[in-house]
């Protein structure tokens, strides 16, 4: 009877195993890497901000937002818009591995909505394309204190767009992929003991 009770115990997560990252903010650069309507565009420095819950210093779930601009050059691909502002809202799931006291690495996947706002020449009117945002990322963390981490990331992003373009252009608009990089700082909210 006592053995049955031992085997049937359920392990409940302790509040001490939860850590809240108040925010992480940093640079975000996305360089187009596939043959798409923005292949010949120059990427400007953007930003990324997110917040997450870390369970047992290992599992990560969070929400985030990023934005950057692309300066267009090849108007045969883009049409008559000068630049494209790209924003994304996403849910992030990740796995964190601490390999030294102050060093850790994270692998994460983000999924959400991407919005492309195209700004036309000599016009106050803009138009938008929307689609699915997907981002695989590797991040290196260095803890400078109990509440602050410095981070560097590299990733692969692909956006699947839902656009209304002629069939001969659809291959340029269906998906856009990027190599992403960035530097950031994380601020953690610690529970008082």
Query: pLDDT digit of tens for each residue in the chain (193 aa)?
Result: 445 444 444 444 455 688 999 999 999 999 999 888 788 788 899 999 999 999 998 999 999 999 999 888 766 666 667 888 999 999 999 999 999 999 999 999 999 999 998 887 766 778 888 999 999 999 999 999 999 999 999 999 999 988 776 666 677 778 899 999 999 999 998 765 4
Q: Is residue 137 part of a domain?
A: yes
- Residue 9: inside a domain: no
**What's the CATH code of the domain at 145?**
2.40.160.20
> Would 12 be classed as within a structural domain?
no
* Residue 7 in domain: no
**Is residue 108 situated within a structural domain?**
yes
Q: Does 25 reside within a domain? A: yes
Question: Cβ-count burial of 55 within 10 angstroms (0-12 exposed, 13-18 middle, 19+ buried)?
Answer: middle
How many domains does the chain divide into? 1
Residue ranges making up the domain that contains 42:
17-189
DSSP H or E run through 155: strand 148-162
Residue 8 lies in a domain: no
Residues belonging to the chain? 193
Q: Give the Cα separation of 119 and 159 in Å (integer).
A: 19
pTM for this entry: 0.84
What does the pLDDT read at residue 109?
98
> Is the residue at 11 inside a domain?
no
């Amino acid at each position: 009877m006592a053995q049955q009770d031992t085997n049937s115990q359920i392990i409940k997560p302790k509040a001490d195993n939860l850590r809240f990252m108040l925010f992480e903010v940093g640079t975000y650069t996305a360089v187009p890497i596939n043959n798409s309507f923005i292949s010949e565009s120059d990427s400007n420095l953007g930003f990324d901000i997110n917040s997450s819950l870390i369970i047992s210093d290992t599992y990560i779930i969070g929400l985030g937002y990023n934005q950057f601009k692309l300066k267009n050059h090849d108007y045969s691909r883009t049409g008559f818009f000068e630049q494209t502002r790209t924003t994304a809202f996403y849910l992030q799931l990740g796995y964190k591995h601490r390999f030294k006291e102050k060093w850790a690495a994270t692998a994460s996947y983000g999924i959400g909505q991407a919005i492309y706002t195209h700004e036309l020449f000599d016009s106050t009117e803009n138009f938008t394309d929307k689609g699915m945002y997907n981002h695989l990322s590797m991040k290196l963390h260095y803890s400078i204190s109990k509440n602050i981490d410095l981070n560097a990331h590299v990733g692969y992003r692909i956006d699947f767009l839902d656009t209304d373009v002629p069939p001969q252009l659809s291959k340029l608009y269906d998906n856009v992929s990027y190599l992403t990089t960035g530097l950031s700082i994380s601020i953690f909210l610690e529970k008082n003991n």
